[in-house]
Chains A and B, each alone.
Chain A
């Protein structure tokens, strides 16, 4: 009796093992490329259904069977590494950034070098060569970058407070100080109590992450992560302007113009003090303007206008505008060599990606399906109201499918029509301000370069300075302490990083 059960168990184990082997066998790319496999992250609660309307339309437009392997965004990098180490490798992989893991894989030969291969595909030849260079690893292009608006920095403030105190929107960092001081000391909410402060800053210390500190330092002229001084690149924090900017922020902290818990304040609650009338200013990406307006709109749909005001980048004390841009991309689509074996196959995959950048596919991935979830009004995509179940499904799905969009030659899809005239005005103003600021953008000159030492221990190194910056602002250490930390960065390996970056910079100039 028991032996029979045991043999049954053995059979089950064997069968499971066999089916596991079958799973990892993977499918070999067919010669004529009837299907393309893609690995991409999904940011929604669930990945899009494999038989959804967007998926069907995508296959129809590209003429290929598109097998998308959606992986959760939170563990995407782990999944990337596991996939690359396995045998079932997709033909196209969305890579979220130049992480040390990616750089190691790329330098070990995991992905095709596309540097000289893209120009013959009309939709893959970029109109933003600088961004393509930023996304490269030391000049080698390992993937098609996913273009993002490079200029996004804005200063948001309570317009009603500003009006009440009879102030003008800030233009310079000195204005920012004055507005913050007035918001703190002149009772902008008019309740007779000293219960407001100027700027809200959340727990956001890491260097070079577009934090409010990074932005203010750039406005002061410290550069964007790296800056050229006397014919050499140095990290921004080794400039005098960096110290000057931090002295300025510290002055605001000391005068209580900034929330005192800036080192621990939860960034997911960033909007709350603004909305609740505690802190009147936020320095962040301009899309937060819409988020803030929506908060007021939800609370009072009849009276939400003129609560949120904004300006773009602020002039530094030198009277010049050093606008803070991002690197202009959010990761890239790379092609693993293990699944795409020959130049001929590569050509087919690139042709497919070229189709993915056609206008109709770009519209599908970003706007959805015309007539189902949106209609075109004056060149803008207007959401169909009331939403049908089909329309809603498409709207949900494209939040994930947009991850496949590259837009290396600019956005081909429609801008979204805003729900009200006021919001459309704000949106248009945002677009104008950002376009204007982009002209004064100061980019990171070292963005394309990856130093071996930095890959090995950059995050630890940067933490030395990042933590010291917060400690200095909080008054735990003095300016000498901050300077000592910067020296420690140098001696702990930073000097090597500088040498390597400068060498790469000179070679690729």
Chain B
């Protein structure tokens, strides 16, 4: 997808990927030729080296029994013991289950909703209305999770919250949404939709604006209705964007949002609320088990990498352009 846009760089990549053994000192010639491009690249490389790659050295404590006083280097190696402890822990399956269920709920409900909302916005003909709605749906993104959680606590407060009263009256029940384990996941997904759906539409709207208008006109002449146009023109046109966004979303899938879940957890719903992120905090920070929680975090990252490569591979198999 990106290839035709930045064709010089793409050409560059092909040349590097398939070096023709023509003459010696190729690299210096090559370097001299593209020195300005490399210079442009430098800040990015330095940034990643210093702030992304160098700290990864600390990941080594996942294989050590880290004692802060002894430092990263001084702490004794323990091999895979931290990982073994984690996999043998009865919490492991529960955490994995909770994390995956929340992740798939978010992916299955929140992600399609973003596309639906983008399509709906795209169909709005009145420009001022469209822009106003767009701005309004972006706003929740800028509120912190603390505020979202506080709002939820006000709205769903036992016996006095307006949504508590409305929903329970409508259903004829008396459910405490904030502590009932069965309602924890719907609540989390609902919060996520409320906060992030609007913001997520930005990229889809950008993709939608590039769709060739002539096709719509041709379709109208052929007698296609709105849904037909969306189905046969709009969606295929933004398919590659959807796939790239899907791959990115799957890569982020296990990051279930520490703050949000931490704030909504209580003793009554902890069983379904504990996920990798809160567990790492709980065990690592409050209990000082730095090595163990690093191991858990590393495991989560590995699963994330597998997911992102897997989806990319699948996307390519089905003849879609992948992310890389």
Contacts and interface: CB of A to CB of B under 8 A. Distances in A.
Interface of A: 2, 6, 77-78, 80-82, 84-85, 99-105, 108-110, 203, 205, 260-261, 263-264, 266, 455-460, 463, 466-467, 469-471, 474, 476, 492
Contact of A456 (B176, B179, B289): B289
A460 B287 contact: yes
A6 B282 CA distance: 46
Closest 5 CB pairs of A and B: A101-B288, A100-B288, A470-B267, A81-B68, A110-B69
B287 A105 contact: no
B313 interface: no
Contacts of A455: 288
B289 A474 contact: no
A105 B157 contact: no
B71 A459 contact: no
A457 B179 CA distance: 26
A81 B282 CA distance: 17
Nearest to B282: A459
A469 B268 CA distance: 10
B44 interface: no
Contacts of B268: 263-264, 467, 470-471, 474, 476
B286 A459 contact: yes
Contacts of A104: 67-69, 288
Interface in B240-276: 266-268, 270-271
A229 B283 CA distance: 31
Contacts, number: 91
Nearest to A337: B69
B283 A264 contact: no
A100 B289 contact: yes
B156 to A, nearest CB: 9
A84 B69 contact: yes
Given A85-B68, A108-B70, A470-B268, 15 more contacts: A84-B68, A85-B71, A100-B287, A101-B68, A101-B288, A105-B69, A261-B178, A263-B268, A264-B178, A264-B179, A457-B289, A460-B283, A467-B271, A469-B267, A471-B267
B83 to A, nearest CB: 15
B78 to A, nearest CB: 13
A459 B286 CA distance: 8
Interface residues of B, number: 29
27 contacts: A2-B39, A84-B69, A100-B287, A100-B288, A100-B289, A101-B68, A101-B290, A104-B68, A104-B69, A104-B288, A105-B68, A105-B69, A203-B267, A205-B267, A260-B158, A261-B157, A263-B179, A263-B266, A263-B267, A457-B287, A467-B271, A469-B267, A470-B267, A470-B268, A471-B268, A476-B268, A492-B90
A366 B153 CA distance: 39
Contacts of A110: 69
Interface string B48-87: 0000000000000000000111111000000000000000
Contacts of B288: 77, 99-104, 455
Contacts of A474: 179, 268
A77 B285 CA distance: 9
B153 to A, nearest CB: 7
A263 B269 CA distance: 10
A483 to B, nearest CB: 17
B217 interface: no
A489 to B, nearest CB: 12
Interface in B151-165: 153, 157-159
B69 A261 contact: no
A457 B72 CA distance: 22
A467 B267 contact: yes
Nearest to A206: B267
B91 interface: yes
Contacts of B71: 85
Contacts of A264: 153, 158, 176, 178-179, 266, 268
A1 to B, nearest CB: 13
Contacts of B179: 261, 263-264, 474
B69 A109 contact: yes
A457 B54 CA distance: 30
A205 B267 CA distance: 7
Contacts of B70: 85, 108
Nearest to A82: B68
Nearest to A99: B288
- Residue from B90, B268, B270 with most neighbouring chain A CB atoms (10 Å): B268
A476 B39 CA distance: 63
Nearest to A338: B69
Contacts of B72: 85
A261 B68 contact: no
B267 A108 contact: no
Contacts of A260: 158-159, 176
B255 to A, nearest CB: 21
B160 to A, nearest CB: 9
Nearest to A86: B71
B187 to A, nearest CB: 12
Interface in B275-320: 282-283, 285-290
A479 to B, nearest CB: 17
A329 to B, nearest CB: 20
Contacts of A99: 288
Contact of B176 (A101, A261, A460): A261
Nearest to A455: B288
Nearest to B286: A459
A487 to B, nearest CB: 13
A460 B287 CA distance: 9
A2 B70 CA distance: 45
Contacts of A108: 67, 69-70
Given A100-B289, A263-B179, A460-B287, A466 B267 contact: yes
Contacts of B270: 463, 467
Contacts of B285: 77-78
Interface in B120-144: none
Nearest to A110: B69
Contacts of B178: 261, 264
Nearest to B43: A9
A184 to B, nearest CB: 15
B193 to A, nearest CB: 22
B37 to A, nearest CB: 13
A456 B288 CA distance: 8
